[in-house]
Amino acid sequence: MSEYVLELKGITKRFPGVTALDNVHFKLRPGEIHALMGENGAGKSTFIKVITGVHSPDEGEMVLYGQKVKFSNPKEAQTMGIAAIYQHVTNYPDLTVTENIFMGHEKVQKITGRLLWKQMHEEAREILQSLGSSLDPKTEMGSLSVAQQQIVEIAKAISTNAKIIIMDEPTAALTARESEELYKIAESLRDQGASIIFISHRFEDMYRLASQVTVLRDSKYIGSWGVNEISNDALIVAMVGREITQVFPKKESEIGEKLLEVEGLGKIGFFADISFTLHRGEILGLTGLVGAGRTEVCQSLFGIMPYDKGKIKVNGREVSIQNPKEAMKLGIGYLPEDRQLQGLVLQWGLGRNITLPTLKNFSKKGWLDERKEADLAKKLAEKVHVKANSIFDLVSSLSGGNQQKVAVAKLLTADLDIIILDEPTKGVDVGAKSAIYEIINDLASQGYGIIMISSEMPEVIGMSDRIAVMRSGRITKFLHKEEVTQEAILEASMSDFSSKDEGEESRKGIEVKQYG
C-alpha cells in the first residue's frame, strides 16, 4: 500500500499563451494537513482544478491511493473522495442548507424517484452537529454569514464521504475567532482520517495547522518542507524568489498641518465618543478586535453610515457628511475591505475601474473622451505598479494584489487629501503586501493623510506613525510608534475604558454589532 493518498508527478498544464503548471510535484499522506503556499498567480488555482477534475493535465500523472487516475470531470473526482472548499463560497443562496449540502447527490426513493427530504434534513443536522454547528438545515443559505457558509461547504464535503479535502483560502474572510473555529474543524477532520490540503497566504494558518508545506512559484514546484524545518525568511524567499529585507519600508514623509479633526463622534449601537486628529503626511493606524467598530467609524467619515452626534472638521472647517459624494468633494476617499464586492466592477477593464469616480471629467456634451480617460488610467496603473497586459484587461483576471492596486489607483483620480484604507492587504500574498506598503508610504510622502484599518498587528505597527486602539465602539488608547508593542495593542484592545471616559453611557457600555 502506498505511503501517500495522493501524488502529483511532473504535472504540466498549458493554456493558449501560458503555462499554468510546469512540472509540479506534490505528496499528501493519510491524516495529514499539508499547506500549499505561493503568491497570487503561482498556479494554486490550476493545481486545485487538476486534482478536482476540472482540468486534465497535459503532462505528468496523478496517483490516488496508489493507483494512477485521470479524471474527465469533477463528478469522477468527487466519486473518488475528493472535495474542494473555495475562498469565495459557491452556493445557491435561495435554497436551504440541506439543499446545498446534498446538491448533486440527493437522497432519492429508488422506485418512485421521490426526494427523501426527512432523511436529508436529519443527515444534514447530524453532519452540522459533528462540526459543532447548531444551524437549522432548513435555513436559507443566503441568510448565513461567511463563516457559517464555510461550515456548510465542509458539511457538503463530508456528505460525499470525501477523504481528501482541499481548503482554498478558507480564513481570508473570517475573523480571528471564526478562524479558530475553522482550525478546530480541520483538526477534527484530520483526526477522523481525512487528508487536507490547506491553501493560504497567512503564515499563522500554516503554523497553527500544517505539518508539511509545499511552495509553488511562477507555476513551478519550488520545494516541500516540514513546517518546523523552514524559517519565515526562507519561506518568503521560496515564495517570491527574493529576500524582502524590509517588509515595512522606511517612511520618509514629514508630518504637517491638521487635515481632519474628529470630536465626540457617535452612532447609536456602533460607536461612541470617537475623537482624534489626522495630519498631512501621517499614517494613523486604527486597530482592535473585529467587532470593535473600526469600519463603522470610517464609513461614517465617508458618509456611508451617517453619525448621530459629534463634529468633523476638514482643514479646520466644520462639515456635515451625509453621503460619499459629499465626502469626496471634501477630499476624503475610502478603500473598502471587500474590494471585489464593494471596491471594483469585476467584469470591467481595469482602466474603466480606475476612472469610474471621475468619469464626468472626461465627458463633454454627453461624449466621453476615451483617449484622455485611457491616458490617465494608464498613468495611474503604472504609478501603483499594476501588472497587466493593458488597461483593458478585465479586473477579474488579475491577482488579488493587482486588484487591490487598481482599487488604490481608483482613489487617486479624485482630488483627495485624506485616504481611508480598510484592511488594504487582506487576502494578498507577501510580495504584493510589500508593494502595497510602498504605495501607502509614497502616498504619505506626497502629503496625503492616511487612516489605515488593520487586524494584523505587525502591519499596523510597521506602517503607522500613531495607532488608535478600539474596543466595543470606543478608542481605549493612542500609541506612538516609539512605544508600540504587540502586547500594548492587545492590552488596549481588551482593556476597560479609561477613567476619564467614564460617564453614565460608558459605565453601561454600548452594544456593538459584529460587522468589522
* pLDDT for res 313: 96
pLDDT of residue 242: 63
Alpha-carbon distance 316 to 113, whole Å? 73
Q: How many domains are contained in the chain?
A: 3
pTM over cut 0.75: no
The pLDDT value recorded for residue 253 is 81
Classify residue 143 by burial, with Cβ atoms within 10 Å: 0-12, 13-18, 19+.
Answer: exposed
Residues 245, 446 contacting (CB under 8 angstroms): no
Same domain, 233 and 132: yes
- pLDDT for 509 equals 36
Within-domain flag for 337: no
Beta strands 258-267 and 59-64 are unpaired
- What pLDDT shows up at residue 516? 35
Q: Which range marks the domain in which residue 172 is found?
A: 6-240
Per-residue confidence (pLDDT) for residue 510, from 0 to 100 = 36
Work out the percent of the chain whose per-residue pLDDT is above 90: 55
**What pLDDT, on a 0 to 100 scale, did the predictor assign at position 290?**
65
Same domain, 450 and 508: yes
480 lies in the same domain as 444: yes
Distance between CA atoms of residues 161 and 78, nearest Å: 9
- For 283-336, the pLDDT digits (tens) are 999 998 767 889 999 999 999 998 999 999 999 999 999 999 999 999 999 999
Cell of 320: 456635515
CA distance 392 to 370: 12
Per-residue pLDDT at 213:
96
Distance CA 212, CA 30 (A): 12
Specify the pLDDT at position 435. Answer: 82
Cα separation, 179 vs 207, in Å, equals 13
Residues of the chain with pLDDT under 70: 1, 40, 88, 173, 242-247, 290, 495-516
Residue 341 in domain = no
| 340 is a domain residue | no
Domain boundary residue, one of 189, 224, 240 = 240
Whole-Å CA distances, 112 to 99, 115, 116, 118, 121: 19, 9, 11, 16, 19
Residue 341: what are its φ and ψ, rounded to 5°?
A: -85, -40
* Residues 136 and 30 occupy one common structural domain: yes
Would you state the pLDDT for residue 289?
Answer: 72
Q: Is there a domain that residue 1 lies in?
A: no
Q: Is residue 465 domain-shared with residue 498, that is, in the same domain?
A: yes
**Whole-number pLDDT of residue 513:** 35
